[in-house]
């Protein structure tokens, strides 16, 4: 850079720093204003006072400045006005905006303006930060397409601990998804590292900004594949100022039974099959009974009688109307009460709502409802289905063959719901049964990550949680590793109840350098032949290091030491069964490390079982013995593709800067 330019830039940076100081001071004043508000004066009664105090506390918390993050990261120069784009809105004492929220419509040109369409901008400025200090700027005047060094620096900035937000560098194709219409369900097929998870989380923040009341009322939920994954992403939404969003695994969501065991693949596949919905429906409705005798209700000196066939007809009519089982029970009691009231009235007695309610609550009416339409506990229904071959055979007749029914039955029938050996797929069946009895409330929006792994029944469980809301469905068919996975987006969306979801593809990779993604993509023809190989925004010569070795243990320790000598996080990824031995080896050899189960905070070197690597990333990854990772997966997936190779694809695509592959055995043929 010529000396004059350097001076100009220094002067610009000094001016921008001054603006940053001014914005920070203004933000602090906004917070002080909130803290000075008197909840008791505004509230009135003690309850509203408490609510107000709580709300003010939250508001003040949201306005707390974090000096380690960028308060603004962009500047938009229109011909007439200049706007700074940042994490939150900041205004001065006169209400004049100093920084506008990245989610506001006015911020959109920061993410979308291009040479083809500058969106009214004369200049777009990006700011680079180092530890909260404004250190660089980058200008674009839209006369020619420009590459952003700040984007590349941001991606390559060494990882410490959990995932961080990408608010300063969201790319146009990602911005489309983040800001998509709230009523739309979107399905994103995205290659590894294309930003699906990041985009899903920023979309939540966007929806909470653009539709705050509606989303707050309905609720927003993020569903991720594992506890480690949730631990990894937990900081992103709070960093975007959103602290109230529930983040759960599917198992965490289905709390009716404790998950204790893992199913054999055959059982898991059958339990996850959509036919189970019909089996359960039949099992639930098989409880209706035709009464053997008429209902007789003594009242005063009279006895009112409703014949058994009439009650059976009422029940049948309700069932045909498609009511939920639980609601039907209630409705039946009303029908019976009504039938009795008609008789009473025709005998000349005047009745009103109170008579109706009194009759409905009489012991004979309740007893008749219990007999004809018994109350059901979904847990017990599913327990019986999985324990009682006769009951299962009746419900599954014509739907599941004998082998499938045998695979479903527990080896030892359960004694009670508490001691039963429930699996994850069983918990999903309980959830379906519960919904057949009482409708599951729907949320405003669900973000579903790693969706490719879900079974049809799991999709249904999630679908009912966004039945009247919308969803963002994220995943990668090539990374589907479960034997029960549905296998394609159209089927998955149908089971989710969103067949008309808009589908889109992300194939520009941000995490993985070209050299590594090209290598991993050699697996695609075997694991997902319909998918195009992804591209990468970065090239990093030397980032792929293949090491055939003879003494695997010695090489693992050496590779870990080498990686720790460089910057950033390190993931040592191996077949699950070999992880205990690797942990013992590292404890003996010395490199400081932590097992994944203990989280990301303990050490830079995280020993990660291959089955837990999904969704995670590390600056450097050391993969130990690919052949063992492939062999560890049982049988072919539902669509006939090797889940072992898919697992390997996941593992090989976790690295940001460096991938070292140690192998004493041959590599799988497709990689050679
Ligand atoms: N626009 C961006 N700016 C900066 N970093 C980005 C951007 N998009 C994605 N990244 C980074 O790339 C990495 C991969 O993103 P993310 O984990 O969301 O991808 P993914 O598609 O969910 O990957 P996978 O399918 O492998 O789990 C993350 O570190 C993320 O912060």
How many residues in the chain? 672
Beta-ladder partners of 121: 78
**Whose Cα sits closest to atom 5 in ligand 1?**
155
Indicate if the pLDDT at residue 3 is higher than 70. no
Binding site as annotated, residues: 190-197
Q: Alpha carbon 177 to chain centroid distance?
A: 15
Q: Which tokens belong to 571?
A: 């993931």
Q: Atom 25 (ligand 1): residue with closest C-alpha?
A: 192
ipTM of the complex model = 0.99
**pLDDT above 50 (res 598):** yes
| Ligand 1 atom nearest to 449, measured from its CA | 22
Task: Determine if ligand 1 sits within 6 Å of the CB of residue 111.
Answer: no
Q: Tell whether ligand 1 has an atom less than 6 A from the beta carbon of residue 195.
A: yes
What does the block give as tokens for 229?
A: 């994954």
Contact assessment for residue 169 and residue 138, using Cβ atoms and an 8 Å cutoff: no
pLDDT attached to residue 59: 82
Q: Which two tokens stand for residue 98?
A: 């100093």
Mean pLDDT of 73-92: 93
Q: What is the pLDDT of residues 212-229, one digit of tens each?
A: 888 988 899 999 998 888
* 640 or 467, higher pLDDT: 467
Whether residue 574 has pLDDT greater than 60: yes
Mean pLDDT, rounded, for 202-208: 94
- Among the residue ranges 159-163, 243-247, 501-505, 516-520, the one predicted with the least confidence is 159-163
Work out the pLDDT band at 663, boundaries 50, 70, 90.
Answer: very high
pLDDT at residue 196 in the model:
95
More confident residue, 493 or 602: 493
If one counts every other C-beta atom within 10 angstroms of the C-beta of residue 234, the result is 16
Work out the average pLDDT over 462-481: 95
User: How many whole angstroms from 197 Cα to the centroid of ligand 1?
Assistant: 7
Which residue in 188, 213, 192 sits closest to 203, CA to CA?
Answer: 188
CA distance 308 to 339: 12
Rounded distance between C-alpha atoms, residue 20 and residue 62, angstroms: 18
Please, which pLDDT band fits residue 51 given cuts at 50, 70 and 90? confident
Whole-number pLDDT of residue 256: 85
- 16 vs 10: which has the higher pLDDT: 16
Six-digit token string for 271 = 């339990």
Query: In the prediction, which pLDDT does 589 show?
Result: 77
User: What pTM does this model have?
Assistant: 0.90
For residue 653, which atom of ligand 1 is closest to its CA?
26
Give percent of the chain with pLDDT exceeding 70: 96
List phi, psi (to 5°) of 417: -60, -30
Q: Please check whether residue 86 is in contact with residue 100, taking contact to mean a CB–CB distance below 8 angstroms.
A: yes
In the three-class reduction of DSSP (H, G, I as helix; E, B as strand; rest coil), residue 54 is classed as: helix
253-270 b/e with 16+ CB inside 10 Å = b?
Answer: bbebbebeeebebbbbbb
Pocket test for ligand 1, best of 168, 175, 198, 449 (most atoms within 8 A of CB): 198
Determine the average pLDDT of the residues in 288-299. Answer: 94
Average per-residue pLDDT for the chain:
91
The verdict on the CB of residue 169 being under 6 Å from ligand 1 is: yes
Which is more confident, 37 or 467? 467
Is a pLDDT exceeding 50 seen at residue 432? yes
Residue nearest to atom 8 of ligand 1 (CA): 195
Where would I find the H helices in 347-488? 353-360, 363-372, 378-387, 389-396, 402-408, 424-437, 456-463
- Taking the C-alpha atoms of residue 597 and residue 607, their distance in angstroms, rounded to an integer, is 9
pLDDT tens-place string over residues 526-553: 999 999 999 998 999 999 999 999 999 9
Domains of the chain by range and CATH? 3-146 (no CATH), 295-372 (no CATH), 514-671 (3.40.50.300)
Q: How far is CA 26 from the centre of its chain?
A: 36
Question: How much helix, strand and coil, in percent to the nearest 5, is found in the chain?
Answer: 45, 15, 35
**Ligand 1 atom 9: residue of nearest CA:** 195
**pLDDT band at residue 639 under the 50/70/90 scheme:** low
Pair type for strands 470-475 and 186-190: parallel
134 C-beta neighbours (distance < 10 Å), count: 20
Ligand 1 atom 24, closest CA: 192
Question: What's the CA-to-centroid distance between 502 and ligand 1, angstroms?
Answer: 21
* pLDDT reported for residue 131: 79
Where is the binding site for ATP, in residues?
Answer: 190-197
For Cα atoms 136, 142, 146, give the angle at the middle one, nearest 5 degrees: 55
pLDDT tens digits for range 229-276: 898 898 888 888 787 789 999 999 998 899 999 998 889 999 999 999
C-alpha 265, offset from chain centre: 24
Rounded mean pLDDT, 140-160: 80
Identify which of 6-15, 367-376, 530-539, 633-642 has the greatest average pLDDT.
Answer: 367-376
User: What's the 512 CA to ligand 1 centre distance in angstroms?
Assistant: 9
Our answer on whether the CB atom of 170 is closer than 6 Å to any ligand 1 atom is: yes
Residue 402: how many other CB atoms lie within 10 Å: 9
Q: Which atom of ligand 1 is nearest to the CA of 159?
A: 29
Averaged over 644-656, what is the pLDDT?
Answer: 96
- What is the arithmetic mean of pLDDT over 456-478? 96
644 lines ligand 1 (CB under 6 A): no
Say what the pLDDT of residue 145 is.
78
Round to whole Å and give the CA distance between 255 and 267.
Answer: 21
In the block, which residue shows the tokens 């006895």?
303
Mapping DSSP to helix (H, G, I), strand (E, B) and coil, where does residue 614 land? coil
pLDDT of 422 higher than 80: yes
User: For a pLDDT cut of 90, what percent of the chain falls above it?
Assistant: 73
Q: Give the E-state strand segments of 264-417 in sequence order.
A: 295-299, 302-306
Which pLDDT score is estimated for 129? 87
Distance from residue 517's CA to the centre of ligand 1 (Å) = 14
pLDDT at position 1 over 60: no
């Amino acid at each position: 850079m010529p000396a004059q330019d350097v001076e100009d830039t220094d002067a610009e940076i000094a001016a921008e720093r001054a603006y940053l100081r001014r914005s920070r001071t203004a933000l602090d004043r906004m917070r002080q204003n909130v803290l000075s508000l008197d909840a008791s004066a505004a509230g009135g009664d003690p309850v509203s006072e408490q609510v107000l105090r709580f709300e003010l506390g939250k508001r003040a918390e949201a306005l707390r400045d974090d000096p380690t993050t960028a308060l603004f990261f962009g500047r938009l120069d229109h011909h007439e006005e200049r706007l700074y784009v940042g994490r939150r809105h900041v205004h001065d004492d006169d209400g004049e905006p100093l920084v506008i929220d990245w989610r506001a419509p006015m911020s959109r040109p920061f993410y979308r303006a291009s040479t083809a369409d500058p969106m009214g901008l004369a200049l777009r400025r990006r700011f680079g930060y180092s530890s909260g200090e404004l250190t660089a700027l980058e200008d674009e005047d839209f006369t020619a397409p420009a590459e952003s060094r700040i984007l590349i620096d941001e991606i390559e900035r060494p990882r410490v601990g959990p995932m961080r937000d990408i608010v300063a560098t969201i790319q146009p194709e990602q911005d489309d998804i983040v800001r998509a219409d709230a009523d739309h369900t979107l399905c994103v097929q995205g290659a590894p590292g294309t930003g699906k998870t990041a985009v899903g989380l920023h979309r939540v923040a966007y929806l909470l900004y653009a539709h705050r009341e509606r989303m707050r009322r309905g609720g927003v939920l993020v569903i991720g594949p594992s506890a480690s994954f949730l631990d990894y992403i937990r900081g992103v939404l709070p960093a975007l100022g959103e602290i109230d969003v529930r983040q759960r695994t599917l198992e965490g969501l289905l709390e009716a039974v404790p998950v204790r065991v893992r199913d054999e693949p055959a059982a898991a596949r059958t339990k996850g099959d959509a036919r189970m919905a019909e089996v359960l429906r039949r099992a639930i409705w098989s409880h209706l009974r035709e009464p053997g005798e008429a209902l007789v209700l003594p009242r005063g000196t009279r006895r009112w009688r409703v014949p058994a066939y009439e009650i059976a007809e009422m029940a049948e009519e309700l069932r045909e109307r498609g009511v939920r089982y639980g609601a039907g029970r209630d409705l039946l009691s009303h029908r019976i009460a009504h039938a009795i009231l008609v008789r009473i009235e025709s005998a000349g007695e005047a009745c009103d709502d109170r008579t109706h309610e009194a009759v409905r609550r009489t012991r004979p009416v309740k007893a008749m409802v219990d007999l004809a339409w018994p109350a059901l506990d979904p847990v017990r229904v599913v327990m019986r289905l999985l324990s009682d071959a006769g009951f299962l055979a009746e419900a599954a007749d014509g739907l599941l063959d004998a082998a499938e029914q045998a695979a479903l039955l527990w080896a030892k029938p359960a004694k009670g719901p508490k001691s039963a050996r429930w699996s994850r797929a069983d918990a999903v069946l309980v959830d379906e049964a519960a919904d057949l009895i009482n409708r599951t409330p729907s949320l405003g929006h669900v973000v579903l990550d790693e969706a490719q792994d879900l079974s049809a029944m799991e999709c249904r469980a999630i679908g009912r949680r966004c039945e009247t809301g919308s969803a963002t469905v994220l995943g990668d068919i090539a990374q589907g590793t479960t034997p029960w996975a549905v296998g394609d987006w159209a089927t998955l969306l149908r089971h989710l109840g969103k067949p008309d979801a808009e589908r889109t593809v992300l194939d520009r990779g941000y995490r993985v350098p070209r050299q590594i993604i090209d290598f991993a993509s050699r697996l695609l023809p075997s694991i997902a032949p319909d998918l195009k190989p992804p591209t990468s925004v970065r090239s990093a010569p030397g980032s792929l290091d293949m090491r055939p070795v003879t003494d695997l243990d010695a090489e693992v320790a050496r590779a870990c030491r080498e990686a720790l000598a460089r910057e950033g996080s390190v993931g040592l990824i191996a077949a699950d069964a070999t992880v205990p031995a690797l942990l013992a080896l590292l404890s003996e050899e010395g490199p400081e490390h932590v097992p994944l189960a203990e989280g990301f905070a303990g050490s830079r070197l995280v020993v990660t079982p291959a089955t837990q690597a999904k969704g995670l990333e590390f600056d450097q990854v050391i993969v130990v013995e690919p052949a063992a990772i492939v062999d560890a997966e049982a049988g072919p997936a539902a669509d006939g593709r090797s889940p072992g190779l898919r697992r390997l694809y996941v593992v090989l695509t976790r690295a940001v800067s460096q991938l070292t592959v140690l192998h004493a055995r041959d590599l799988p043929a497709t990689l050679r």
